[in-house]
Structure 1
């Protein structure tokens, strides 16, 4: 891919009169179509769906003079010079094959935002990884704000990148969350500094293989200027740094839950310390914050804090702002969120744990657990997760369409753990699941909703699933 026939003037791309096809409506397609139309492009939007929401969005765009084709996202409109796609559209779709055969470039919404940046645009500090992206970016934004910088958490979270780039508000730096989907379609992105938090099998149905998934994640390092931040405990992330083509002088910076070596951030005696962005890092270290400044201080969340701190320090943020930013940060709902304590048992909502890697991190935060799990597996397997976590399990309650995969893994690797298999996928199943978990739990245990699966078989999204869990806990405690 590349810029194709779309040319540049004064550092900005000239879309005047260019025929651009936008693939997909929704949260990225609609603003992309509007931005392109406002710059004089001849825009056609194609969309697979033809439901009420799509028709409503189509009417809004058609009122501006934008052509919309509903129910046909496979055919490349004649004369197309550029395709801008929503990040979720799979690379193997006929539309993209047709574009490739015609020599038409394909950009994602991130690529479009990158190309539309002005010459004095704010640099990007970018974060990706299988899990922890949103929390890390929010921590980073909190740290940057504590340093007095104008910033926002953008990308796959909060403010859209197009809005941030094209809006009237001026920023000093942006904290950018990027998914593997977005990175796949962002060939010319060049961040100031970037982090890959971890790599575990996820979205393999979209990428086709673990190798392709990792390759798309690794795109975030391409052209980095100051720092490529990697996870010492996950060697695959360091491998991606080695493979990246970066600017001269860009450094590899590791983060670890252990004592850091030179060019690393880590933990010593309950203190987050920096041995990367200090003078004489062979001998010196800078205290940044205490572990107790991180909320919650679960191991994987401390890792998120270290990654955020590394990116902030790469941007020149002082140590005091790291501490103040972490103290001020509170995670979003449904991310290891304490709900209540009933009869000496803690109930914790981590509905955001939608894959095995996230669930493993969640399970590692507690000693004795009654685990509520299940949903849509998205092609995942559960043997490694169960084998790793078996010693922590008091019991398990399984819900959702693919619960049998978890049940079978439990039978193989934790046969002594009592399992309740709820043969129902209605939303009311959560109340029964929590009641069964309450029956299995003992004082000192944690009933943990960490499904390791997507939610759409039973719920609209993980938020609704977490809300159902919290409501069930409150009902049982009433």
Structure 2
């Protein structure tokens, strides 16, 4: 790679019109965001080197596409062991921890490290700027961003759901479409690698322990996780949306260095105070973005417009509505957008009813708080749970919802963590442990749950854990659950 011995001075304030032909940039990781980052940097004229230790068929295919653009790609073990001399900038995949050798070397040498999100932000400036409405939080991000995209579309705005939702932001920036606004999902990992992103409005939905293994190198992993989530509010220009039921999110707003004039907007399942959105009777209402907010509220939608209808999903809808209203979206578009939306699979999805028992797939509930949100929606539950706990605990969840548990069926590598919480806080709840480690374990788990369930019960797959111990992802786990339920219907 080329580049001088000293990092280029203009990199720190770089934008799309900077002299990128002078820059040697390393892209760390060839995942979805890495591929988009490499493509975007190539379009700017930078000299790009992509490094990834995984020489998979998928990576080889991406590498082939990039090499046709004269982008250098190195795959295979040891490819990321050392940062090449002359590197001016590193653009990292969001999952890479700061302690990863390549990134640690960059930090030691004073080489700037960005994520794909930061790169996308720079690529829009100074002449192609599109406002971002951002969402983060431990749970509910994807649902909220999808709701927001649907509401913005109902308003007639050109928009796209991007970021952690699956589509890289750089890809949208490179689109031929001139977007009016972007609905952006941001994970803590992505926020960690940002330093100049300035959102029009931003929401933190909630804050609970998750992904603490990523922060294991810090003195206080939870504090570090919180600090990265809070970065979304920095420099916000219009509205900082927080969860009234989660005071930590409001504290983040209070501590943030926002642009002068930005407002704090709460969302609540209760009757909203001034500068909040909330619920009155069967309506979602706005007391934040109307002139008469001191003594009245504007109806936005029916609670029944929210699908699937569960308390935490109403919260998601309120957050999405607040962000949309901060951008000037009309009330009728909020209602229409919520009605139009149909979420993807594995989010509180009813699979079937068998012998009076309802089977619900919420495989997307990959941490204890997400599982707790599911449990709020049902009265009598046989809980199917387990997988990779990621350093989290289940004591609070079990203590809160033990009276709703008919029984529990546990599987996966960290099933004992959940079993211990149940034994300590809900000793009367029957527990069945599935010791199989192949994906066929789900069929055994569903059969065991069916044996515990009674008519009127819900067998709820809300694992509270990640899925990669046994499945390729939460979607594959949910599909196996649905297949096992279907097998039950064939037998009944």
**Which residues of 2 match residues 363-382 of structure 1 at below 5 A?**
363-382=375-394
Q: Deviations over 1:7-32 (max 9, x none)?
A: 76886333112111110111111121
Q: Deviations over 1:78-128 (max 9, x none)?
A: 100000011111111121221112111000000000000042422000000
Question: 3-state DSSP class of the match of 2:259?
Answer: coil
The match for 1:200 among 185, 208, 214 is 208
RMSD (CA atoms):
1.5
Q: C-alpha separation between the residues in 2 aligned to 1:53 and 1:402?
A: 30
* Bigger Cα displacement from structure 2, 10-19 vs 398-407: 10-19
Q: C-alpha displacement at 1:63, in angstroms?
A: 3.2
Could you list the runs of 4 or more consecutive aligned residues of structure 1 that deviate by over 4 angstroms after TM superposition?
7-11
Question: 3-state DSSP class of the match of 1:211?
Answer: helix
Q: C-alpha separation between the residues in 1 aligned to 2:15 and 2:110?
A: 25
Q: C-alpha separation between the residues in 2 aligned to 1:303 and 1:125?
A: 17
Q: C-alpha separation between the residues in 2 aligned to 1:9 and 1:378?
A: 37
- Residue pair 2:409, 2:449 contacting (<8 A) in 1 also: yes
Question: 3-state DSSP class of the match of 1:245?
Answer: coil
Scaled by the length of structure 2, the TM-score of the pair is 0.94
Question: 3-state DSSP class of the match of 2:251?
Answer: helix
The match for 1:69 among 71, 74, 87 is 74
Q: C-alpha displacement at 1:40, in angstroms?
A: 1.7
Question: 3-state DSSP class of the match of 2:388?
Answer: coil
* Aligned pairs, number: 477
Rate the CA distance shift 1:296–1:116 in 2: closer, same or farther, 3 A. Answer: same
Partner residue in 2 for 1:173: 181
Question: 3-state DSSP class of the match of 1:13?
Answer: coil
Question: 3-state DSSP class of the match of 1:423?
Answer: coil
Partner residue in 2 for 1:24: 29
Partner residue in 2 for 1:224: 236
Partner residue in 1 for 2:103: 96
Partner residue in 2 for 1:46: 51
Q: C-alpha separation between the residues in 2 aligned to 1:238 and 1:3?
A: 39
Rate the CA distance shift 1:158–1:226 in 2: closer, same or farther, 3 A. Answer: same
Q: C-alpha separation between the residues in 1 aligned to 2:373 and 2:41?
A: 41
Q: C-alpha separation between the residues in 1 aligned to 2:106 and 2:10?
A: 13
- Residue pair 1:4, 1:81 contacting (<8 A) in 2 also: no
Rate the CA distance shift 1:103–1:297 in 2: closer, same or farther, 3 A. Answer: same
Q: C-alpha separation between the residues in 2 aligned to 1:117 and 1:441?
A: 54
The match for 1:263 among 270, 275, 284 is 275
Q: C-alpha separation between the residues in 1 aligned to 2:340 and 2:69?
A: 43
Q: C-alpha displacement at 1:73, in angstroms?
A: 1.4
Gaps of 5+ in 2: 1-6
Q: C-alpha separation between the residues in 2 aligned to 1:461 and 1:39?
A: 34
- Residue pair 2:12, 2:112 contacting (<8 A) in 1 also: no
- Residue pair 1:150, 1:173 contacting (<8 A) in 2 also: yes
* 1:311 and 2:329 matched: no
Q: Deviations over 1:134-159 (max 9, x none)?
A: 00000001111111111111111243
**Which residues of 2 match residues 17-416 of structure 1 at below 5 A?**
17-70=22-75, 71=77, 72-118=79-125, 119-208=127-216, 209-416=221-428
- Residue pair 1:19, 1:81 contacting (<8 A) in 2 also: yes
Q: C-alpha displacement at 1:198, in angstroms?
A: 0.4
- Residue pair 1:196, 1:231 contacting (<8 A) in 2 also: yes
Partner residue in 2 for 1:462: 474
Q: C-alpha displacement at 1:382, in angstroms?
A: 1.2
Q: C-alpha displacement at 1:230, in angstroms?
A: 0.2
Q: C-alpha separation between the residues in 2 aligned to 1:316 and 1:477?
A: 48
Question: 3-state DSSP class of the match of 1:186?
Answer: coil
Question: 3-state DSSP class of the match of 2:167?
Answer: coil
Q: C-alpha separation between the residues in 1 aligned to 2:415 and 2:44?
A: 49
Q: C-alpha separation between the residues in 1 aligned to 2:372 and 2:446?
A: 20
Scaled by the length of structure 1, the TM-score of the pair is 0.97
Q: C-alpha separation between the residues in 1 aligned to 2:8 and 2:313?
A: 39
